[in-house]
């Protein structure tokens, strides 16, 4: 019962803040709503019993990506955007595409409806470490190369031009 109440409260937070990200005209409000939405998704991970993903979501998404987007909003936004239109004029076809997608998604996932969990969640950090350093060691090293390349690319794009 408590689980159900917590799930619906987290869902309300996630959906309302996601709508805020998409629909609010001011970019600053959108970025703050994005942080709230990511924190709500972290709560969903916690309610699913995945402790390490919960911590990683808080650290990387809420602490890293949301703050990074806030910085860029502060650098690139101007005050006139609250007056101008932020949604393109093709919103009606987009709405049709989105509803068609959601209908198809419900049709596909109807096969899994009513499945409930049999076992209680257990701590997952040790098993994830065994997977990352054993079976998935090569992708784990490759992803570090990707991070290094993205950092180098960000520095390359962000530096000033040589005078």
Q: Closest Cα to residue 17, out of 31, 37, 32, 35?
A: 37
Binding other proteins by CB under 8 A: which of 9, 67, 68, 137? 68
Question: Nearest approach, Cβ of 95 to other proteins (angstroms)?
Answer: 7
Binding other proteins by CB under 8 A: which of 79, 80, 83, 117? 117
Which class for 6: exposed (0-12), middle (13-18), buried (19 or more C-beta within 10 A)? middle
Site map (CB under 8 A) of other proteins, residues 26-65, x = contact: -x--xx--x--xx--x--xx--xxx-xx--xx--xx--xx
- Residue 1 in contact with other proteins, rule: CB under 8 A: no
d(CA 22, CA 33): 9
Binding other proteins by CB under 8 A: which of 79, 85, 141, 163? 85
Spatial contact of 43 and 17, defined as CB atoms under 8 Å apart: no
Binding other proteins by CB under 8 A: which of 79, 83, 118, 163? 118
Question: Nearest approach, Cβ of 82 to other proteins (angstroms)?
Answer: 12
- Which sign does the torsion angle of CA 49, 15, 17, 94 carry? positive
Binding other proteins by CB under 8 A: which of 36, 62, 80, 124? 124
* C-beta neighbour count of 27 within 10 angstroms: 19
């Amino acid at each position: 019962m408590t689980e159900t109440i917590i799930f619906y409260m987290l869902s309300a937070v996630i959906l309302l803040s996601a709508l805020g990200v998409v629909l609010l005209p001011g970019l600053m409000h959108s970025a703050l709503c994005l942080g709230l939405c990511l924190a709500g998704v972290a709560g969903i991970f916690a309610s699913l019993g995945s402790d390490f993903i919960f911590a990683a979501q808080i650290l990387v998404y809420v602490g890293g990506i949301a703050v990074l987007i806030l910085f860029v909003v502060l650098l690139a936004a101007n005050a006139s955007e609250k007056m101008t239109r932020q949604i393109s004029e093709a919103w009606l076809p987009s709405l049709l595409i989105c509803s068609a997608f959601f209908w198809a998604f419900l049709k596909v996932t109807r096969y899994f409806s009513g499945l409930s969990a049999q076992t209680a969640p257990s701590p997952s950090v040790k098993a994830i470490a065994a997977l990352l350093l054993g079976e998935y060691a090569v992708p784990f090293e490759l992803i570090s190369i990707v991070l290094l390349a993205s950092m180098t690319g960000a520095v390359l794009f962000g530096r000033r031009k040589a005078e």
